Each structure stands twice: as C-alpha cells, then as structure tokens.
Amino acid sequence: MVTPSVPSAPRAPVLELHLVPAGTALPEGYPVRAPGGAEARAVLSRAGAVAHVALPARDRADLRWIVDQVVRALAAPAGIDDVRLFGPGMDPDTLATIALDLHQRTGGQVEVKTAEVAARVARVGPYEDGFRAWVNEDPSLRTSRAMARDVSAWAADQPRVTVEVLDEAALADAGLRLLLAVGGAGRSSPPRLILARYRPPGSDARAPAQAHAHDQVPDHDHDRPLLLLGKGITFDSGGLNVKPYEAFVSMMKSDMAGAALAFTLFRALVEAGSALPLALALPACDNGLGSRAMKPGAVVESYAGTRVRIDHTDAEGRLILADALAYAGDRLRPRKVLCFATLTTAALVSYGPYATPVHFADPALVARLSAASALTGEDLHFFPERLWHLEANRDREVDLRNTARLPGDAVRGAGSRNAAHFLRHFAPAPLCHFDIFGSTWNWAGDAPGAGYGATGAPLRTLLRGFGIGAGADEALPGAMDAVDECAHEPAPGGAHEPAPGG
C-alpha cells in the first residue's frame, strides 16, 4: 500500500537583513529608498528578500528609524513576517535595539545571527511584550480588577513579594477621596489601589502571607523602598467634560500605560534579584460617565488633607496619582519615587510622538538615563523643578485646582510641566516623573518596530539604566546606586497643565 504524500506547507517569505557600517561596498541589487544618508540594496525572490543596508554614523534613535523604514518598504509588499538579522562590523548596542524592534514587528519571529545580541533580545523582549500586551488589550478586559488579578497571580510565585488590593470600601476607610471621585462612575473598572512590596535577600524575614503590603512601615532607612508609581486609568472618556474625537478618545485604552510600565519594571527588577527594596503602587479605575461621575466645580479633600477644585474632569490622572503618592508615602516611607503616567496630551503636542519628558531627575539620574537612552535609541528630555509651575497649580479659594494656569499669554503653555508640578505638592520623597503620553503609543504610525498601538517605550531605556539588557560585561556600573540617588527633596509646603488631559 502506498501512503499518499502530504504536500508541505509553503514556506513563508523571509527577509535576510544585513546591516553594515557606512562605506561598506554593497552587493548588486535593487536600490531601496533609505533616509538619513543610508544606502540600501535588495534582491527579491519567491523565498523573500535579501537586503544589505549601509548605516551612516548617526544616533541610535536615527538608525532605528532608518532600518525600520527599509524593513517597511520590503516586508509589506512581499508579505514577509520572518526576519534573519546579520550585523557584521556593527556594535552590539545598535544591533540589539534594532533586533528588539524586529522582535516587535514580527511577533518574535526574528532570528539574530549574533549570540550575544540574541541573548539580549531573549531577556528584554518578553518584558516589552508584556508591557505592550497590557496597553493594547481591550479596555473592557484590561480593567482595574484584571490588573489586581494579574499582579496578585504573578506575586504568588515570588516568595519575597507581598500584595494588597484596596477596594472601594477600603479606599473610603483610608480617605483616598480623589481616587474615589475619579472612579465614581466606573462600574466595570471600579477604583482600586494595588500595592506590592519586595524585600530583597538579606532584609528582614518576609511578612506573613496574610499581612497587607502597607502594614509594616519600614523602621530603618535601609528598608525604605524605591517606589514605582503608575497611572492606571483603564479607559478615559474625559468624564463629564467628554473628550471629543479629536482628543484621541478612541485610543484612550492606553491611559493605563503608566501602570503597565511600572508593573513591568517592578517585575523585571524583582526577577533580576534586586538588592534594593522595592514597592509598587497602581491606582486604577475608569474615568467614566454617569450619575456618580466626578462633577466639574466640585471640591474634593485628598488623602493628604489638601482641598482640590475639579476644574476639568479630563485632568484626572494627576488626581489618582496624588492620593496614591501621599498614601504610599505614609504607609511605605519610600526613599524615592519614580512615577509613570500618560499624564498630558501636551507631552505629545510639545515634544512629539517619540520623546518622553522627564521631570525632576537629579544630575546623577539624568546622567544614568541619558547614557541608557543613547544606547537604546529612545529619546528622553529632562526638566527641573521650577517654582512658577508649582505655584500655577494654586487655586484662589481652595488649596489646588487640577488644571494649572501660568499667567498672561503663557496660559495655554507648559501643560506637561504644570501637571508634573501638581504631583510635587503630594510627594512624600524625592520624585522623578515620566510623562509617557507621546512615547508609549504609535501616534505617528511609524514608530520603529511598532504596529498600531503600544510602542513599548521607554521600558527599554529604564531596563538598561538598571543594568538589565546589557551584555554580560557591559552592565552600567552602579545602576542601583544611581537610581537610589534620584531627584530632590520634597516640594516646599507639599505633601499635606496643560489644558486637561491627565
């Protein structure tokens, strides 16, 4: 009996991509448009394409964009989903960040022909995948309850991590009235505060499993954690000041990207065996519509006792972060706070679709993150504290309002700066704030490696700044020490805007 042969499935087209330094002679092939002084040639066949790209001496941010433009030109018409990357003569950092872009673009179907770079992609790629997956998920699924569930499930396998989730009743008892006000209309994604605590090896014995993460206030300075704080607005309708279509309302499932970034960074540091105590705080809810929605003109007393006028309901992110900052400050006594939030549309309008404004980083952290961003090709811009932005958040009748205003003709400017300074009024410890609204979503449609949705930025830079994702002998020295020196003293008179958008 003859067994009939089963025809094998046709092999998917493959792009074989060779990156070489400028000045290298390229093989014959069709010229491919390459911006920025690069040169590219390709040979096409039924099996896919073989492309050689000579890259000029430019910053890695530019090199990422150049390679991505070439890959887009070749991959889409030929239906290419798989890539094999070669980089003879290229430095490992350039090759690694381009390989991570290709990992994103192909859904992991990239084969890197350099072992060291392949190991970096294998280490960093899954964290970027997890971050992007949270941001891209349907907001009816990626709710505050889902965040709490997933953080708790991960922590169950981490013997040095404890988690507590405060629901509406616990938030009311604790006095987190700003968070409750913002999430008042959110029935499917109600207000939650997710707290997690990591105690490194050598610290005090782990608290009993039933103990709350915030119950044991650190007694010694060396036990005080680095706090990672992330805004978790799971969908932002704008509230009763409803967002118009032109205000990107259809993309507002991304308004929880700060929480996704903070959790991913926390997870990576814990799994790397951080020697530094860590804490995580994720205030989460919908900013929705309904009879229980936050009202414009209302005055809400924060957890810290500060009275805040709700001038606009689409400036909600700073409100939930303010309560979480003050509450975590009392319960966890953090030594430093790194805050991540899609806080203002102004971050996109002012700094463009690829950059992250970073507020209040001290010189040591600026140097650390600048070095890391140069290696990864993710742009960061640094801004100090300024008194006039702090004062712009004052209200004439109560303490603060949630839409800051500079005087005179500057009234519509400085949105990201003003919103960041609102948080300074509640900061219990030195604060460094990342406004990721412009960088974490593919607004322009051509972010390197990204399709529609989340870009993964600036996680790659943060991981590298902490020494994760470097080669075996290339970790930035003293990364933990540098982050431990982050930012300034708390804002004077604190702890006790753009136009709306965060």
Q: Which of 93, 71, 67, 88 has its CA nearest to residue 80? A: 71
Rounded Cα–Cα distance for residues 340 and 230 (Å): 5
Q: Is 336 a catalytic residue?
A: no
DSSP letter string over 56-109?
A: PS--HHHHHHHHHHHHHHHHHHHT--EEEEE-TT--HHHHHHHHHHHHHHHTT-
Residue 262: C-alpha distances to residues 73, 89, 256, 392 (Å): 34, 36, 10, 28
- The secondary structure of residue 15, as a DSSP letter, is E
Residue 318 a catalytic site member: yes
Q: Is 247 helix (H, G, I), strand (E, B) or coil?
A: helix
Q: Which of 120, 253, 318, 333 is catalytic?
A: 318
Whether 218 contacts 197, CB under 8 Å:
no
């505060």: which residue's tokens?
193
Q: What is the largest CA-CA distance in the chain?
A: 93
- The CA distance from 223 to 234, in Å, is 32
Q: Which residues have a Cβ under 8 Å from the Cβ of 305 and sit 6 or more positions away? A: 496
DSSP state of 394: B
Q: Are 470 and 464 in contact, with CB atoms under 8 Å apart? A: yes
Q: Helix (H, G, I), strand (E, B), or coil: what is residue 408?
A: helix
**In this structure, how many other beta carbons lie within 10 angstroms of the beta carbon of residue 169?**
8
- One of 60, 64, 160, 243 is an active-site residue; which one? 243
- Residue 399 tokens read as 């303490």
Residue 221: φ, ψ to 5°? -60, -35
Residue appearing with tokens 């673009």: 105
What stretches of 249-379 show up as alpha helix (H) in DSSP?
257-271, 317-332, 346-351, 363-376
| Sheet strands side by side (includes 14-21) | 30-32, 39-45, 48-55, 14-21, 82-86, 110-112
Active site residues: 243, 318
